[in-house]
Amino acid sequence: MNAAGLRVRARVLATTRAFFATRGYLEVPTPVLVPSAAMEEHLFPLRAEGGLLRTSPEFALKRAVAAGLGRIYEIGPCFRGREDGPWHGTEFLMLEWYRVGAGLRALIDETRELVQAVEQTLGVPAQPWREVTVRELFAEVCGVDLATASASDLSPDDESWDEAFFRRWVTDIEPSLTGAVVVTEWPASQAALAQVRTDGAWPTAQRFEVYYRGVELANAFFELLDSSEQRARFMSANAARLAAGEPPHPVDEDFVQAVGRMPVTAGIALGLDRLVAAVAGWEGIDRGRVH
Amino acid sequence: MYQTSDIRKGLKIERDDAPWTITYFQFVKPGKGCAFTRTKQKNLLTGRVVDITYKTGEKIAPADISEHTMQYLYNDGELYHFMNTENFEQVGIPGEVLGKDVTDFLLEEAECQVLFYKGRPVNADLPNFVDLKITYCEPGVKGNTAQGTSKPATLETGAEVQVPLFINEGETIRIDTRTGDYVGRSSE
């Protein structure tokens, strides 16, 4: 165990809570033990007696938004099976916040200000910020136009377009990212719980991710507000899971209904262990955690 | 076949008709995507290092590689002959397959780890340190212990290395075979 590392994390936690307090955000702790832990194909929730361990606080926080809370955040443990490595832990600390009435622009600015506050707290030089679309990154790094590329154009080893996309992402794009990078306009097939836009050159999900010195820190959605579309995405992720021999996710009908009652909202989830480690310049998340 | 969860440093795999050893690996999973393992791997025949990414669930072929402890016997001018210390079988390996970094410090009776690919010897690992006698060097300069001053010395294997000025012909010195550097007088 690294005492200095734990002190660094404590300072980042204090900075984060102060940041949201001064902006009128309410801290809302929600249950860790839940009936439905995720809706995405590639998340593997852990089982516990009486339910599942949440993979993020998203379903509960959105019910709080639907109940009338306009600015909320939560910092708490989340659990994802089959994830273990220098930048992954089965258990990790997630920061998630929701802002009613906001779009992605406001959330990009707020995320940058939070990260800069943490840089200041830890006394490290501020990283330069850059904003780029997924399509621009693939053109720049791989020389491929995502709007027209087939799976085999992206990677000869993959049949699925999304898997080919992620193989190039992991192999070529991610290692090329320096400084702080906001990556916008993701493929519509990777929308998860975000709204999709079809009026551009190709259909894109209204979400962004934040990379900090090559480490994926955060994922934000311009939130989907359509219950039937939300249910359909649950079903299609579950169909993919069944085809891959994985158990389907239980559908959280309370959450699906709540999506239809939410006002226009932008929300973001940020890995706090990664924020601490990436800003502090560590080689992985271990130094800031108790073992 | 290996699974991606079997990937670790030193794992020997077969790819593109060649044996490779994993020198680095990292689990990585994009938040919205499937999991991968990034690797760096070294070609055991050429030494070339490449980056390869595996998707979780992909199967990886093991390399037909075996390693045997062998004693170096002699060089017949073309082949370096080794003997398996367990079953006494002998094998001759061309010098260019072993490489100069091996043949420079290879002395009779030295025990090496010889690597076989599909039954063919492809490489030999020397002990990290070997003791070799100096067969020729210029006389030493007494009292000169200044750092950074060295002179060439010829070893009994024929290789030339840099030694400090106080080392004399006929002395036995210890060499780090990974770097080819002088580390001191032999303690024996």
ipTM score over 0.95, yes or no: no
Residue-wise pLDDT for B120-144, tens only, equals 998 898 999 999 999 999 887 655 5
Contact B31 A163 (CB under 8 A): no
User: What is the reported pTM?
Assistant: 0.85
Q: Name chain B contacts of A165, Cβ cutoff 8 Å.
A: 33
Q: How many CB atoms lie within 10 A of CB B64?
A: 13
Q: Would an 8 Å CB–CB cutoff place A170 in contact with chain B?
A: yes
CA distance A84 to chain B (A): 7
Among the partner residues A42, A82, A85, nearest to B33 by beta-carbon distance: A42
Phi and psi torsions of A230, nearest 5°: -60, -45
Residue-wise pLDDT for A24-76, tens only, equals 999 999 999 999 999 999 999 999 999 999 999 999 999 999 999 999 999 99
Q: Name chain A contacts of B56, Cβ cutoff 8 Å.
A: 82
Structural element, H or E, at residue B91 = strand B90-94
Q: Would an 8 Å CB–CB cutoff place B53 in contact with chain A?
A: yes
Class of domain B65-125: mainly beta
- For chain B, the average pLDDT equals 91
- Distance CA(B92)–CA(B147), nearest Å, equals 42
Work out how many CB contacts closer than 8 A connect A with B. Answer: 58
Closest to A266 in 3D by CA, of A87, A90, A111: A111
Please state, in angstroms and as integers, the Cα–Cα distance from residue A158 to each residue in A153, A164, B4, following that order. Answer: 10, 5, 16
DSSP A117-145: HHHHHHT-PPPPEEEEEHHHHHHHHH---
Cβ pair A2, A289 in contact under 8 A:
no
In this predicted structure, the answer to whether residue B165 has a pLDDT above a threshold of 60 is: yes
Phi and psi torsions of B62, nearest 5°: -70, 150
The ranges of chain A annotated as CATH 3.30.930.10 are 1-124+233-291
A124: amino acid identity, one letter: V
- Distance CA(A31)–CA(A58), nearest Å, equals 11
Contact A170 B36 (CB under 8 A): yes
Contact B35 A83 (CB under 8 A): yes
Contact B29 A86 (CB under 8 A): no
- Distance CA(B131)–CA(B184), nearest Å, equals 10
Residue-wise pLDDT for A228-240, tens only, equals 999 999 999 999 9
CATH topology identical between B2-62 and B129-185:
no
Is domain B129-185 annotated with CATH 2.60.120.620? no
- pLDDT value of position B141: 65
Class of domain B2-62: mainly beta
Cβ pair A211, A177 in contact under 8 A:
yes
Q: What are the structural domain ranges in chain B?
A: 2-62, 65-125, 129-185
Cβ pair A238, A245 in contact under 8 A:
no
CA dihedral B36, B37, B38, B39 (to 10 degrees): -150
Q: Name chain A contacts of B34, Cβ cutoff 8 Å.
A: 42, 162-163, 166
Is domain A1-124+233-291 annotated with CATH 3.30.930.10? yes
Contact B53 A167 (CB under 8 A): yes
